[in-house]
Structure 1
């Protein structure tokens, strides 16, 4: 099936000129064309259209996955909220008190991957050693990459340590590239950097819509 994803502004990658009313045409798990929505829709009138508010960009990359997924516990809300609260738990003493098992780490990682997808993340970089955590990442659709330098403390928000929005992008939107991108309800890259990844309204990986803000 052909699908056109369009937004008020398309930012195809770092250093590329923003395209108002831009769109990407997706077939299967690949991008086949990139350009003005009006032109692409006229050429492919039978393609399904998904319209997103704000900015359409490449998906985001999070560094320090080992810290975020194997040294941070995400409580099961609401079942553990009364006992543990709802925020992430880290620190050697705090984790020791939880008596973590591999199964519990896997469940925590599944909750974390949902948080990442809800922030437009399509790939994570880090060395994961807990099998259940690696399985959670692979099954989520996220790409697991080797460790990469991190400009600041690892964060679920890839913009937290970035100087420009483009520093958080993973790949570019161009014909032949994997169909992995995100849409954010902001006016442009500067506002995206300022407001952060929680403005995400949609995340697409492999041509599949894996997150959509309700």
Structure 2
């Protein structure tokens, strides 16, 4: 199972939490293995792949409205990734076939919004956001599914 260290300019443990500089997240498989100071994590995981991002790394967003319009369910899900969303609310699944695409993409389908944090043992759903709020990268269940060019 591959291990990746995701490091960004800043890290937020919670969507509205205070950002911290010099921190990173270690992902193994679909789980967060560790969160901590980048130098400590690089020492603890010497063979890990390291991805460095410009922006603020934090939990993936929960999309709490209708999914973005697009010609196909697959394109609607990709539009979510471009927003940094890694979870949706079940009440907004309005198109046949959409649930199957979400399942294949491993997007979390929630019955209600809840707290999202970066913590060891939690599912590796991450988003990196630029200063203007645009998504730089999205990781769903440990897989990089979107990266802005």
Fold-level match, TM-score > 0.5? yes
1:13 aligns with 2:11: no
Q: Normalised by the size of structure 1, how large is the TM-score?
A: 0.63
* Cα-Cα RMSD: 2.0
Partner of 1:138: 103
Secondary structure of the 2:46 match is coil
Structure that is richer in strand per residue = 2
Residues in 2 aligned to 1:181 and 1:110: alpha-carbon distance in whole angstroms = 20
How many residues are matched?
147
Q: Normalised by the size of structure 2, how large is the TM-score?
A: 0.87
1:203 aligns with 2:138: yes
Residues in 1 aligned to 2:9 and 2:77: alpha-carbon distance in whole angstroms = 28
Gaps of 5+ in 1: 76-106, 149-168, 187-194
- Which structure: larger Rg? 1
Output one character per residue of 1:11-66: Cα deviation in whole Å (capped at 9) or x when no partner. Answer: 0114544220110011111111101101110222111100000100100011133x
Q: CA deviation at 1:129?
A: 5.2
Residues in 2 aligned to 1:118 and 1:6: alpha-carbon distance in whole angstroms = 19
Structure that is richer in helix per residue = 1
Output one character per residue of 1:133-182: Cα deviation in whole Å (capped at 9) or x when no partner. Answer: 2222222321112256xxxxxxxxxxxxxxxxxxxx96111111111101
Question: Structure 1 147/38 Cα, relative in aligned 2: closer, same or farther at 3 Å?
Answer: closer
